[in-house]
């Protein structure tokens, strides 16, 4: 008998009283001002939020960000913004990219996370190997909590091999509990609302 059969047979032979699967209903948190809560939560996660005001374009705002102005090579994964270079096709080539601009599907007010999947970032290394991230989020694309987030993702979860809730830039506190922003992934995350 192979390991699979042996294991399943062993588990089936055990008597475990059944427990009903609970419905995921509850009085889950909602926010009167989800946008404000989202900004606050992303701020706590060391992310920066920038809005596109009246009279300026998304391209202008992104190109005017400090990380972009200082970048030698920056790429955009969406036609809404043009970088100064085409995005590489091979994952390893993102090592030389200073800034990646990527669109998010929606944000989560309770924790400042955005949902980005393979449809937005076909080469997922773009999200982790580039030095800085600029995330684009259309205004109003917010849910209050994670339950709504999964409801919104729905069956699209399995359309892509990869999908990620991302809340702020990479960080660590592994040395004496001192928070250091910029561990292995992006060293900064700027969210642009438009």
Partner 1 sequence: MSERLVGHPARARLFLADEARSRFHDGALWEIRRRRDRRARDLPEWQELRALAARIKAHMLGRLPGYLEQFEANATRHGAVVHFARDAAEHNRIVLELLRARRITRVVKSKSMLTEECGLNPWLEQHGIEVTDTDLGELIVQLRKEPPSHIVLPAIHLRTQDVAETFAAELAAPPLADPVSLTRFAREHLREKFLAAQAGITGVNFAIAETGGFVVCTNEGNADLGTALPGLHIACMGLEKLVPRAADLGVFLRLLARSATGQAITVYSSHYHGPRPGAELHIVIVDNGRSSIRAEPEHRRALACIRCGACMNTCPVFRRSGGHSYGTEVPGPIGSILAPLRQPERHASLPHACTLCGSCSAVCPVGIDLHEQLLALRRRQVDGGPAASAAQAPVATRGKRWLVALVAWALSSPQRTARLGAWVRWLGRRLPGLLRAGPLAAWSDTRELPPLPRRSFQEQYAERRARATPDAGAQQGVGREEPS
The footprint of partner 1 on residues 11-40 (CB under 8 A) is 11-12, 14, 16-22, 24, 26-29
Burial of 25 from C-beta contacts in 10 A (0-12 / 13-18 / 19+): exposed
| Span 175-194, contacts to partner 1 by CB under 8 A | 175-178, 180, 182-186
**How crowded is the C-beta side of 125, counted as CA atoms within 13 Å?**
13
Q: How many residues bind partner 1 (CB under 8 A)?
A: 74
Segment contacting partner 1 by CB under 8 A, of 56-64, 68-76, 81-89, 151-159: 151-159
DSSP result, 30-47: --TTHHHHHHHHHHHTT-
Tell me the C-alpha distance between 51 and 167, whole Å: 18
Q: Which of 76, 170, 188, 190 forms a contact with partner 1 (CB under 8 A)?
A: 170
Is residue 181 within 8 A of residue 140, CB to CB? The reply is no
Give the interface segment with partner 1, choosing from 56-64, 74-82, 87-95, 134-142 (CB under 8 A).
87-95
Sign of CA dihedral 33, 37, 39, 40: positive
34, 39, 41, 104: which one contacts partner 1 (CB under 8 A)?
A: 41
- Please identify which residue in 31, 45, 73, 138 interacts with partner 1, judged by CB under 8 A: 45
Binding mask 65-84 for partner 1 (x = CB under 8 A): --------------------
């Amino acid at each position: 008998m192979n390991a699979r059969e042996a294991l399943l047979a062993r588990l089936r032979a055990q008597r475990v009283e059944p427990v009903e699967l609970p419905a995921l209903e509850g009085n889950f948190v909602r926010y009167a001002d989800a946008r404000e809560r989202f900004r606050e939560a992303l701020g706590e996660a060391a992310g920066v939020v920038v809005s596109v005001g009246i009279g300026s374009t998304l391209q202008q705002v992104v190109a005017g960000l400090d990380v972009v102005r200082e970048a030698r090579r920056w790429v955009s994964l969406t036609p809404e913004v043009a970088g100064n270079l085409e995005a590489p096709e091979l994952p390893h080539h993102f090592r030389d990219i200073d800034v990646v601009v990527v669109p998010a599907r929606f944000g989560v007010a309770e924790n400042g996370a955005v949902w980005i999947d393979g449809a937005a970032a076909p080469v997922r290394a773009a999200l982790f190997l580039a030095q800085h991230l600029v995330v684009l989020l259309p205004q109003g694309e917010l849910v209050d909590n994670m339950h709504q987030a999964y409801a919104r993702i729905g069956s699209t979860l399995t359309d892509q091999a990869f999908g990620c809730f991302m809340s702020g830039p990479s960080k660590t506190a592994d040395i004496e509990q001192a928070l250091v922003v910029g561990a292995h992934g992006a060293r900064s995350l700027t969210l642009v609302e438009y």
